Amino acid sequence: MAAAAAGSGGANGSAHQVGAPTNPMATALLTDQYQFSMAYAYWKAGKHADRAVSTYYLLEFNTSNCRFDLYFRKNPFGGEFTVFAGLEECIKFVANFKFTEDDISFLQSVMPMCEDAFFDYLRKTDCSDVEVYSIPEGSVVFPKVPLMRVEGPVAVVQLLETPFVNLINYASLVTTNAARHRHVAGKSKVLLEFGLRRAQGPDGAISASKYCFMGGFDATSNVLAGNLFGIPLRGTHSHAYVSSYMSLDEIPDKSLKSKDGSRVCKDFVSLVTEWLQKIQLADSSCGVFGETNQSELAAFASYALAFPTNFLALVDTYDVMRSGIPNFCAVALALHDLGYKASGIRLDSGDLAYLSIEARKVFRTIEKEFNVPAFGKMIITASNDLNEETIDALNKQGHEVDAFGIGTYLVTCYSQAALGCVFKLVEINSRPRIKLSEDVAKCHDGFQVSIPCKKRCFRLYGKEGYPLVDIMMRESEPSPKAGERILCRHPFLESKRAYVVPQHVEELLLCYWPGTSNKPRVELPSLEEIRGRCMQQLEKLRPDHIRRLNPTPYKVSVSAKLYEFIHSLWLNEAPVGELQ
C-alpha cells in the first residue's frame, strides 16, 4: 500500500525541534511502513494473535503463534566468520516497545483507510507476549544458523523485523571488522578507534566505538562513547594545533614543576631549545637534523606544558625526520630532565613503515647517547587511512609501529558496508513455513532457502577444543551428547554428511526475553564481558577458519531428521512448474 503523510507542514525541517531530535531508539515507529500495513492486514484477517480470535488452527505445541529466525547468508569481508552483536539493543527495544498517543495519531494520519479498532489494538500492544531466544552477544557465528528466534503474535513480531535487522546488521558487521583488524595487527599492538568524524551519523559513531571495543579494540577517541560505555579514551592533538602556533614567544607561562614536585623549571622552553641544540650536534642526528620548524616546536613545548605526564606529539605537520622527530626529542628530553616520561609520537602521513623504523633508530640512539633509559621504547602510533590490508602490508614490509589509529575503513566497513541479515518466518501456528526463491541456482545450494520450523542449535567441539560443526535439529529431537556419535548433514546437498563424536556440546540459543513463558531469563552481560567472550571465542576457533588468505569455511549442518523434514516440505511447497 502507499500512503502520503497528511499535509505538507510536516516536511518543514524546523518542525524537528532544535536541540531535541527524537531519539530513534525511544519509539516503536522505528520500522518500515509496510510492517504496519501487514500488521493491519493480519489484524483485519484475525491473524494478529491467533490464540485469541481463531480456533481454526491446531495449536500443536500450545505456544505462541509464529516464529521468525534472524540469520545471515554469507560472512562479510571475504572471511569465514562473523561476530554476533547488537543483542542488548534489541532487548532494550523490546523492553520499551509501546506506542504513544502521538505515534497513534501519526499512524492514523498516514493510514486513514484502517479501522479505528486497529489503532485501539496498537495502543494495547507491547512485547509482553513475545519471546526472544538468541546466541550470546560476542559469539562467533556462521551463515544459516539462527542468531535469534523471535516468537509471538505475528502482527507484533512482524513490527520487530526491521528494527532487529537494523540493530544486528551494522553491529555485527563492525564488530567483525574490528575483530579482523585485531587479528591482522596481532595481540601485542594497541588498536585505537578514531572513526567519529567518518562514521555514518552521530549514532553510527557511538555504535562503532562500542562494537569496535567489543571486537578487540583497546580505546576510542570518541568522548561520548567513553562516557556511555566506559571505553578507555585516547587521542593526540591535530595538525591544526601545530599550525596555530608561530613561535616560542607565544608561550606565556614557561614554568614547569618537576614530576616529584621538588623543583620548578622556570623556563622549560629554554631547556627544550638547549636539548634541541644538543641533539642537532649529536650522532643521533645522523646528519639530517638541521633547522626545525619553530611553529611545531612551540606547539610541542606548549602541549608538554599542558600534559607533562602524557606528552604524545603528532610529528608530520611539516617534515617528520627533519623537524617533527628532533622537535619531539628535544621536548621529551626536557621533560625527562624534570622526571617525566614522554608517551610517544603519531605519524599520520608518508611511508609509515620507513618513518617508524627511522624514528625508532633515532630514539634508540638517543637512549644510548644521552643515557635515557627506555627512550628507545617510545610508543609510535600510526594513523593514516589504515585498514586490514595496509596493516597486513606493513607487517610484510617490517615496521616499528606500536599502535594503530583506525577510522574510516573500520567504522564505515568500507570494503563491505552491509551484512545481509534476514528475518524469516519459519513457523506459524506450529506449521512450518519455507521460503523458496525464484532463482533455481540459489535454491539448489540453499543460499536463498530458509530452514523451516522451530529448531534447536548446538555447537559441537572436538578433542583439541576447537568447534567442529554447528548442527540444527528439530525441537523434538534429543540433544547431542558429548562422546556420542551424531550424523551431521549438509542442509541441502544429499551427498555431504559426516558422523561426529563431540567432546563437548554447547546449546546456542538462550532465552533473553521470556515473554509470558516461565523460562528463566538470561541476564545481559556487561560490555567488558561480551568483549571477553568475543576474544575467547576467536581464540578457540581453528586458525584456518580465521586466516585472511583462503580461509576454510566452518561447517553448518542439520540433523538427519531435520534434513528429511526440510526436503519433504520442499517437495510439497515448491512453486508450481518445474522448479524442483
Of 50 and 470, which has the nearer Cβ to its own copies? 50
Cβ of residue 426: shortest distance to its own copies, in angstroms? 9
Supply the minimum distance, in Å, between the C-beta of residue 462 and its own copies.
Answer: 32
Cβ closer to its own copies: 47 or 489? Answer: 47
Measured distance CA(213)–CA(74) in Å, rounded: 23
DSSP string, 404-449: EEE-HHHHTTTT------EEEEEEETTEE-----S-HHHHHTTTT-
Q: Which is nearer to its own copies, 329 or 469 (CB)?
A: 329
Least separation in angstroms between residue 497's CB and its own copies is 28
CA-closest candidate to residue 336, choices 315, 362, 309, 360: 309
Question: Cell triple for residue 219?
Answer: 580505546
Question: How far from 13 is each of 8, 18, 30, 481, CA to CA, in Å?
Answer: 11, 10, 19, 60
Nearest to 360 by CA among 404, 325, 397: 325
Tell me how far apart the alpha carbons of residues 375 and 383 are, in angstroms, rounded to a whole number. 22
Identify residue 401 by its one-letter amino acid code: V
Contact status, residue 61 vs residue 139, Cβ threshold 8 Å: no
Nearer CB in complex with its own copies: 230/543: 230
Quote the radius of gyration of the chain (alpha carbons, Å): 30
Shorter beta-carbon distance to its own copies: residue 169 or 284? 169
Beta carbon of residue 450, minimum distance to its own copies (angstroms, whole number) = 9
Q: How far apart are CA 580 and CA 443, in angstroms?
A: 9
Q: Smallest distance from the beta carbon of 568 to its own copies, in angstroms?
A: 16
Nearer to its own copies, 60 or 544 (CB): 60
> Could you tell me the three cell numbers for 301?
613545548
- Minimum separation from the CB atom of position 404 to its own copies (A): 14
Compare residues 196 and 556 and give the one whose CB is closer to its own copies. Answer: 196
CA 426 to chain centre: 27
User: Rounded to the nearest whole angstrom, what is the least distance from the CB of residue 65 to its own copies in the complex?
Assistant: 10
* Pairing mode, strands 455-461 and 131-134: unpaired
Least distance in Å: CB of 432 to its own copies?
A: 10
